[in-house]
Structure 1
Amino acid sequence: MGSIRRPVLFVSYAESGLLNPLLVLAQELSRRGVEDLWFATDEKARAEIGAASVKTPVEFASLGDVVPQMSAVTWDDETYREVTQRSRFKAHRAVIKHSFAPESRVEKYRRLEAVVEEVRPALMVVESMCQFGYELAITKGIPFVLGVPFVPSNVLTSHVPFAKSYTPSGFPVPHSGLPRDMTYAQRAENQLFRLRTLGMFMNSSMRKVVEEDNLIRTELGIAPEARQMMARIDHAEMVLCYSVPELDYPFPMPEKVRLVGAMVPPLPQAPDDGGLSEWLDGQKSVVYMGFGTITRLTREQVGALVEVTRRLEGGRSVLWKLPAEQQELLPPPEQLPDNLRIEAWVPSQLDVLAHPKVDVFFTHAGGNGYHEGLYFGKPLVVRPLWVDCDDQAVRGQDFGVSLTLDRPETVDPDDVYDKLTRVLGNSAFRKRAEYFSSLLRDAGGRAAAADLLLGLPALTEAGPVIPPAPSTAASAND
């Protein structure tokens, strides 16, 4: 005798900036006792998914190893330099060049297809960068929710002219780093950004990749409607965006877009933090430096940040999350200032940002870090890294919550020190950050996202009677 099942299947790449918000949501559903939760992602995230279970299991479905083209942390140094160069269009072009690899989706699509055939989800929750995830949902006719860790216009604005866009004409193109109020030259730059993006796909080498993409889509049986430029928006039941309207430039928001604020789990997230909390307690004022998992600093840049820390001595301490492989670029220990604490990894960045002694967040302004810093009322100093970071940086500066380095590529100590002391010395930055903190908290975060998800027809209406999963369950977890 079968039973009515309404499985929910989360799908994401395993990059932390993409995975973590969906993981918080899956954990919230588990905390509420929701049954039949599944999470499909790359093998390297198996332990993280396993740790998400609270009252009910969150089952892990492996999509295999990480695809190097889709994982910025695996790119070689030359590629890294190309995608993080300061010419925003050239960086944007380099990201497309290195990540538009149709063959890389084949195994992921087929593995996910096998998971879907076994789990038979009533609803899929797909991270917005996970193309094979929403293509499969559209092709199979499975209701899906799109999760977006950026400001909403990032996924609602077309990169090319003459294409469908949910934002008005002249809106800043994603990855351009342009403000809402543009000069004549900036308006021209904005239009040129679109035209140059379109032009990329007209050269012979890129046309070959597009042809290969079309062949692979046909081979996989991907539905034509899944190939449209705005397919992930048009066909989604709902778009869950981890922001608030006030943190983006204003435009008419589609009804299906629900802004729920930052996805923050219950805190403390890591009570046993190796004495880090006690150290924070003992400081007068702390600058937290954390540039995500992708940033690769040079020896000169590391030295510049050490010099900035030295200049802050006499009342300000610095907590620096610096990966172990980059710590070899530091000066000898005896040359490091006493007000500097370096950690290869902090157990919870959220716990750090929540600490009352942390007064400013020095960040690359990735989607999660940008919103998380403001969720805890911390003003920002921004060294934008790439793509969406430039867009969030310009909005933060326009909204009075941050300052952006003038020379992020060199990390000039005078520039960094100037921006940090200006933000620390002007209470207006903190007041604006606290204002946005209240908006982000009022948006409801993980609780609001879970309520919206559980209220969708796919999970509330009587669904088909689905027999128990066959005994091949282990195959999805191999």
Structure 2
Amino acid sequence: MSTPQRPILFVSLPESGLLNPLLVLAGELSRRGVPDLWFATDEPRRADVERQVTGSPVEFASLGEVFSELSAVTWSDEVYREVTQTSRFRAHRAVVRQSYRPDLQADKYRRLETVVDKVRPALMVIDCVSGFAVDLAVKRGIPFVLSVPFLPSNVLTSLNPFGPSGTPRGFPVPHSGLPFPMTFTQKIRNDLFKWRTLGMFFHPAMGKVLSADARMRKELGLPKPSPMTRVKLAEIILCNSVAELDYPFPVPEKMKLVGAMVPPLPETGPDAGDDGLTDWLDAQSSVVYMGFGTITRLTRDQVGSLVEVARRLEGRHQFLWKLPREQQHLLPPRQSLPGNLRIESWVPSQLDVLAHPNIGVFFTHGGGNGFHEGIYFGKPLVVRPLWVDCYDQAVRGRDLGISLTLDRPRDMDPDDVVDKLTRVLGDPSFRERAAHIGALQRAAGGRTTAADLLLGLPALA
């Protein structure tokens, strides 16, 4: 008698920071020959899902095209400026206003409902931002696992002064970029962040959105939302971090800290067509790797500042800069670029680059994936925080002695950048501390531990 299949359905928004850890996990299950794997996300990520098939199939389930209102990559320049402004609260508020769209969430919910009716999953694995998928899993009584590519406290700390919280009173609010412990002034700022977050839902414009959300939920038969529902009802929470990268607090048993989700390396072989990048890295002694994620939009002045940084450090360090092709028109004429600067619009594998022993520092925007991956490979960081969670990662990295943060991230002042890079590269304590926490991440098991945890759940027994 054959063993009944127990489908596993992964669900994620198309943003790389949310999607990539789940792709790695799906790839690991495929490698093990686990049957009946499905992955639901937006249509443009079909090829990324199909590339994960190394053993058993991973079937792609389309949730339609990307809604530009929900995708930071496609936001207008005006919205981009709002969500990356220097005021942490105003930037946080802008993100909430931009992404809280009940009508679009309802569309994704209905599309996913069709997928669930077809697949009849025994288990869903959901990125922590896909609230529509959590709603559907709860309504249908489908066991689900929550995927968190951020710090452990990100999904456990309440943004509401009256809401239940899994962290101690006075713990820094997510997106505030505040340290712990705090000064008296910082404590006031932290409390105000919560009160202002609560207050913005009393604004008339937000009141209309709340009314629309209530109507949508009534139509779909969903209960009122609760910020801690996803945490309370999840079978387990897979967090791509380790306790040592966050401020101390009692982590609940159901939260499994597995470290960064890294696929088997190297990702690229000798015939990967990397245009000699690996040979170039092998020939260097000290390389600064600059990569600011898929969302960052640099200005001409900022690009010019980074070219000047490379020029000032010529003769001491080489620079590898992953700069998207659509931003390369901002560069000065190629003949005027310093000889120690190599610019690539794309690298076959950022993980292979970070794993290379000649990378001395990772200059990054500090997003959840990049922050954890850099430390996973023992690389100290210089952080130019972009928005929301980037500030939270940056302040913890600074306090842990594994990174420094630019004083004026928006300005990208060459004096500031050169100072931070020189200090991190010149002080061995940064690398030693990063190597220590990187070893802890690798010991946590990443994709292999996560896969073992999934396959051990009662839903798949």
TM range (shorter): over 0.9
Equivalent-residue separation in structure 2 for 1:88 and 1:287 (angstroms): 28
- Find out whether 1:133 has 2:133 as its counterpart: yes
Q: Structure 2: which 5+ residue stretches go unaligned?
A: none
Shift in Å, 1:282: 1.1
- Find out whether 1:241 has 2:242 as its counterpart: no
Match of 2:36 in 1: 36
* CA-to-aligned-CA distance 1:63-113 (integer Å, 9 cap, x gap): 000011110010010100000011100100000011111111122101100
Percent identity reads 67
TM score, norm. by length of structure 2: 0.98
1:255 to 249, 253, 256: 253
Shift in Å, 1:158: 0.7
Shift in Å, 1:46: 0.4
- Find out whether 1:158 has 2:158 as its counterpart: yes
Match of 1:384 in 2: 385
Equivalent-residue separation in structure 2 for 1:96 and 1:249 (angstroms): 25
Match of 1:359 in 2: 360
Shift in Å, 1:220: 1.6
SS in 2 for 1:4: coil
Between the two proteins, the alignment pairs up a number of residues equal to 458
CA contact (8 A) 1:174 1:388 kept: yes
TM score, norm. by length of structure 1: 0.95
Amino acid at match of 1:337: P
Equivalent-residue separation in structure 1 for 2:268 and 2:215 (angstroms): 47
Amino acid at match of 2:155: V
Equivalent-residue separation in structure 2 for 1:262 and 1:158 (angstroms): 24
Q: Structure 1: which 5+ residue stretches go unaligned?
A: 461-478
* CA-to-aligned-CA distance 1:302-357 (integer Å, 9 cap, x gap): 00000000011113100000001110000000110000000111111000000011
- Find out whether 1:176 has 2:176 as its counterpart: yes
Equivalent-residue separation in structure 1 for 2:50 and 2:371 (angstroms): 27
Residue correspondence of structure 1 range 147-296 to structure 2 within 5 A = 147-224=147-224, 227-271=225-269, 272=272, 273-296=274-297
Match of 1:424 in 2: 425
Match of 1:404 in 2: 405
* CA-to-aligned-CA distance 1:137-156 (integer Å, 9 cap, x gap): 01110000000000010000
Moved more, 105-114 or 215-224: 215-224
* CA-to-aligned-CA distance 1:400-439 (integer Å, 9 cap, x gap): 0000000101100000000000000000000000000110
Amino acid at match of 1:317: Q
SS in 1 for 2:319: strand
CA contact (8 A) 1:284 1:315 kept: no
Equivalent-residue separation in structure 1 for 2:275 and 2:418 (angstroms): 29
RCO higher in 1 or 2 (8 Å CA, sep ≥ 6)? 1
Match of 1:371 in 2: 372
Residue correspondence of structure 1 range 21-170 to structure 2 within 5 A = 21-170=21-170
* CA-to-aligned-CA distance 1:206-244 (integer Å, 9 cap, x gap): 0110010111111122244xx111111011000000000
Equivalent-residue separation in structure 1 for 2:240 and 2:268 (angstroms): 22
Equivalent-residue separation in structure 1 for 2:410 and 2:275 (angstroms): 33
Shift in Å, 1:2: 8.9
Shift in Å, 1:274: 2.5
CA contact (8 A) 1:319 1:343 kept: yes
Equivalent-residue separation in structure 2 for 1:44 and 1:315 (angstroms): 42
SS in 1 for 2:252: coil
Equivalent-residue separation in structure 1 for 2:3 and 2:439 (angstroms): 43
Residue correspondence of structure 1 range 280-359 to structure 2 within 5 A = 280-359=281-360
CA contact (8 A) 1:290 1:322 kept: yes
Equivalent-residue separation in structure 1 for 2:450 and 2:79 (angstroms): 36
SS in 2 for 1:103: helix
Equivalent-residue separation in structure 2 for 1:452 and 1:200 (angstroms): 39
CA RMSD of aligned residues (A): 0.9
Equivalent-residue separation in structure 1 for 2:15 and 2:205 (angstroms): 28
